Amino acid sequence: MNRLVDLDVVSGAMRGAEGLEGAPPAELPPAEVVIVGCFEGEEPAAEGLPEELARAAARCAARPGFEGREKQRADGSLDDGPITALSVHGLGARDALDGRSLAAWLERILEGLRIDGIGRVLWVLPDAVATRGAAAAERICRRLTLGAYRFDRYKGESARAPVRLGWMGLVPPAGEESTYREALATVAPVAEGVTFTRDLANTPANVADPAWMEQQARTLATELGMEITVLDRPQLEERGMGGLLAVGQGSAVPPRLVRLTWGTEGPTVALVGKGVTFDTGGISIKPAARLDEMKYDKTGACTVLGVARSVVRLGLPIRLRAYVALAENMPDGAAYRPGDIIRCYNGKSVEIMNTDAEGRLILADALALAVEDGCDALVELSTLTGACVVALGHHGAGLFTPDDELARDLLAAAEEAGERLWRLPLWDEFVEEMQGTHADLKNSGGRWGGASTAAAFLSQFIGEHRRWAHLDIAGPAQIPKEQDGSQGATGYGVSLLVRWLRRIAA
């Protein structure tokens, strides 16, 4: 796992103990650079800095051409003291700064710090709505803690220049010191879950096959004291889990269903994740373009494991049940075909229209098992449809649920976590479109409304359980090649679900 940045709230060193007037300031912590924001048309947001640093920031901002616009930057050096350089960055208009634009500002600076090989950084946060309150503090601290992440384990030594970014001090807005210190108590366990998810998802399919994913789950269970059960091919056959068996039968590595359990008190929550370790499309084979990205079709499963890691680290009072459905969708002489009819765990038969609509088949068995085991609430995550990416782009995930209260809770948790989620319809007409000709159901409803028809298919494996939700994370689960920034898995969903679980645990 990649090292997390060590983050401290150091405002007491600037303003005196807990920011009280008249308290003697502590020694300024050493740093290679101090980052100061500046709103357009305003002085730099340097409140809390020692007077000489505040004057240096003002000199930088007074340079010709610097107006505090987004992406503007003015640097200065300091002659002596524990900080050697200062960098003033434009924040744009004050009333335009929200959580997302602030996150983009932080990430732009972090990328520069990584490139420049900076090791110790002091941040002075501007006083704004986007930097105040517990949710904002957690979002900001989490992003900074993850600032050193990169996936380079398969690069040679010469290409793996070490990321020096190791320590950051954070000066919150006045009066927010205790809020940010409280945020630090939860940030590291959540950030660990995010990096764990990213590492699993980024690992290529020649390593991360269903057997490897099972072993990662076993290692996690041993490390965290979770109980683990694995259903391999003979047990899947015995239970009649035809969805998993069909999707995985073309691969040299058999499918399996992993179940992790933890906790003895509180509500019982089931998390289900799609783990197609590589998706060729099967007999309905995908085009060659972007086929390399199909290693990310296991991201739902990786996210469930990452959430489990964070939940145990935080010690949340819930009974967690994590289900990870694992298969590799490959075409060979044993692969399932369009026109085949299979039977899933709950007894429903499915006519195969397209072998590239495979994720919903392995989830059908996992969802039916989760409902049979019993739970108060169930949330499933999957990179399920390109249709959801067409609808929402890579900016957010689709939420499908028949339960309005659950929808409100998940949307609120997403807002607090800084991860976009948008509710999409689950109308009866979509269920009708998934009725089969020669079987109970078909696995593809055609081109139109593909994200909703896929969700409607999943709804047929929930039984009478109403408090369930499907999150189609195909868009935000990874940063695509054409988008600026570091390519690869994002760990989307970990922060959102941990925030939601903390809500219901309370």
Whole-Å CA distances, 441 to 79, 361, 432: 73, 11, 9
Give the mean model confidence (pLDDT) for residues 66-81: 88
The pLDDT of residue 20 is 39
Radius of gyration of the chain (CA): 25
Greater pLDDT, 380 or 150: 380
Average pLDDT over residues 394-414: 97
Give the Cα separation of 149 and 152 in Å (integer). 10
What confidence tier does 271 reach under pLDDT thresholds 50, 70, 90?
Answer: very high
Contacts of 34 (CB under 8 A, 6+ apart): 49, 53, 83, 85, 86, 87, 121, 122, 123, 124
The secondary structure of 320-372 as a DSSP string is EEEEEEEEEE--STTS--TT-EEE-TTS-EEE-S-TT--HHHHHHHHHHHHHH
| H or E segment and range at residue 430 | helix 428-433
How many separate helices (H) and strands (E) can be counted in the chain?
Answer: 15, 19
Q: How confident is the model at residue 48 (pLDDT cuts 50, 70, 90)?
A: confident
Characterize the bridge pairing of strands 468-472 and 397-400. Answer: antiparallel
What is the pLDDT at residue 115? 86
501: confidence class by pLDDT, cuts 50, 70, 90: very high
User: Which pLDDT does position 482 carry in this prediction?
Assistant: 56
Q: Which of 359, 340, 337, 336 is nearest to 349 (CA)?
A: 340
Plot region of 320 (φ>0 → left; ψ -120 to 50 → alpha; else → beta): beta
Which of 151-165, 210-224, 332-346 has the lowest average pLDDT? 151-165
pLDDT of residue 3: 73
Kind plus residue range of the DSSP H or E element containing 85: strand 85-92
C-alpha 464: how far from its chain's center?
29
Q: Which fold has domain 208-505?
A: Aminopeptidase (3.40.630)
CB 339 within 8 A of CB 246: no
* Paired sense of beta strands 319-329 and 341-343, if any: unpaired
| Domain segments of the chain as ranges | 6-198, 208-505
With 80 as the cut, is the pLDDT of residue 16 above it?
Answer: no
Residues noted as catalytic: 286, 360
Euclidean distance between CA atoms 55 and 60, whole angstroms: 9
Q: What is the pLDDT of residues 439-481, one digit of tens each?
A: 999 999 988 999 999 999 999 999 999 999 999 999 999 987 6
For residue 397, give the nearest of 501, 493, 499 by alpha carbon. 493
The whole-number pLDDT of residue 27 equals 64
Polymer length of the chain: 506
- In this predicted structure, the answer to whether residue 484 has a pLDDT above a threshold of 80 is no
Q: Is the pLDDT of residue 26 over 70?
A: no
At 152 the pLDDT is 84
The pLDDT score that the predictor gives to residue 70 is 93
Q: Is the pLDDT of residue 11 over 90?
A: no
pLDDT band at 158 (very low <50, low <70, confident <90, very high): low
Strands 421-423 and 341-343 turn out to be unpaired
pLDDT at site 17 = 43
Confidence band of 23 (pLDDT split at 50, 70, 90) = very low
pLDDT for res 96? 95
Give the distance, in angstroms, between the CA of residue 257 and the centroid of all CA atoms in the same chain.
Answer: 22
Query: For residue 346, which amino acid is it?
Result: N
pLDDT, residue 506, reads 85
C-alpha–C-alpha distance, residues 360 and 378, integer Å: 16
DSSP per-residue string spanning 244-311 = HHHHHTTSSS--EEEEEEE-SSS-EEEEEEEEEEEE--TTSPPPSTTGGGGGGGGHHHHHHHHHHHHH
In this predicted structure, what is the pLDDT of residue 162?
64
pLDDT confidence tier of residue 18, bands split at 50, 70 and 90: very low
Confidence at residue 19, expressed as pLDDT on a 0 to 100 scale: 43
| Mean pLDDT value across residues 251-273 | 97
Beta bridge partners, 8, equal 169
Looking at domain 6-198, its CATH superfamily turns out to be Leucine Aminopeptidase, subunit E, domain 1 (3.40.220.10)
Instruction: Find how far residue 40's CA is from the centre of its chain.
Output: 32
pTM tops 0.75, yes or no: yes
Q: Which residues contact 18 (CB under 8 A, 6 or more apart)?
A: 12, 177, 178
